[in-house]
Amino acid sequence: MKKTLLSISLLILMNSCQAQNLGGILKQAGDVLNQGKGGLSTDEISQGLKEALTVGIKNSSSQASALNGFLGNEAIKLLFPPEAQKVEQKLRQIGLGNECDKFITALNRGAEKASEKAVPIFVDAITKMTIQDALGILKGDKNAATLYLKKTSSAALANAFSPVIEESINSTGATRMYGDIANTYNRLPFVQKVNPDLKNYATQKAIDGLFSLVEKEELKIRENPAARVTDLLKKVFGAQ
């Protein structure tokens, strides 16, 4: 019976991968698991969560790596580095706004390209998730899964993103444009010089933006009736 319920659960999850967000998939997983109540093992519940999280991660990464995934999303759009915002303001004042816009577009294209590398890193972290990790996520705060992934994936993401970001911002012209913009600004009288190095800034902002999307996917779980999966776990483990 356990194997039958698990097979039904995974079949529903697999058929739903392209059509639903993480919240919807966890709702279906919760519905299937609730049908089995105490008959499901902790391993089966853990595997169901991993499957749902994997789909959610793929959704988030797909959003980020799509055309305008960063550029068209004001919440994660990469802008001028904070120390260079005065550069942007001054250059727009002297009629170079179009160049500033081109740079921002190129910078975001780099972040979108790098996000294609995220899925296998996240999947690796999810695969290594223990039953205790799964229970902590299901019973934890609204961003427990995001915090788990940040803890287990941030270093690997930075290592994977950095060379891709560097290559992407070079190929999109962002590096050259920012260098030109910074050098133009630095030639203006009475201004504090700025560093035209972009790679570290763009890498971290791309990772931050990706985690922002992941957190929104997780929030859908917390606000969805699928959160009742926690109630099931309380029944399974006898917790009150």
Q: What is the pLDDT of residue 138?
A: 74
Does residue 173 carry a pLDDT above 70?
Answer: yes
Q: Establish how many alpha carbons lie within 13 A of residue 36's alpha carbon, considering only the half-sphere containing its beta carbon.
A: 24
Q: Which residues have CB under 8 Å from 72's CB, separation 6+?
A: none
| CA-closest candidate to residue 119, choices 148, 156, 147, 145 | 156
Buried b (16+ CB within 10 A) or exposed e, 55-93: bbbbbbbbbbbeeebbbebeebbbebbeebeebbeebee
The mean of the pLDDT values for the chain is 76
| CA-closest candidate to residue 66, choices 10, 111, 97 | 111
Ramachandran region, residue 233 (left: φ > 0; alpha: ψ -120 to 50; beta: rest)? alpha
Instruction: Report d(CA 100, CA 85) in Å as an integer.
Output: 10
Tokens of 131: 């039953």
Instruction: Report d(CA 103, CA 115) in Å as an integer.
Output: 19
Pick the residue with more confidence: 146 or 178?
Answer: 146
- Structural domain range at position 99: 2-237
Q: Using one digit for the tens of pLDDT, what is the confidence trace for 85-105?
A: 888 898 899 898 998 898 899
What is the percent of the chain where pLDDT is above 90? 30
Q: What are phi and psi of 20, to 5 degrees?
A: -130, 160
Does residue 168 carry a pLDDT above 60?
Answer: yes
Size of the chain in residues:
240
110, 173 Cβ separation under 8 angstroms: no
Of the segments 4-13, 40-49, 131-140, 210-219, which one has the largest average pLDDT value? 210-219
- Quick one: average pLDDT of 43-68? 83
> Predicted confidence band at 160 (pLDDT cuts at 50, 70, 90)?
very high
Question: For the chain, how many structural domains are there in total?
Answer: 1
| CA-closest candidate to residue 154, choices 116, 228, 208 | 208
Q: Using one digit for the tens of pLDDT, what is the confidence trace for 188-200?
A: 887 777 765 688 8
- Quick one: average pLDDT of 75-81? 93
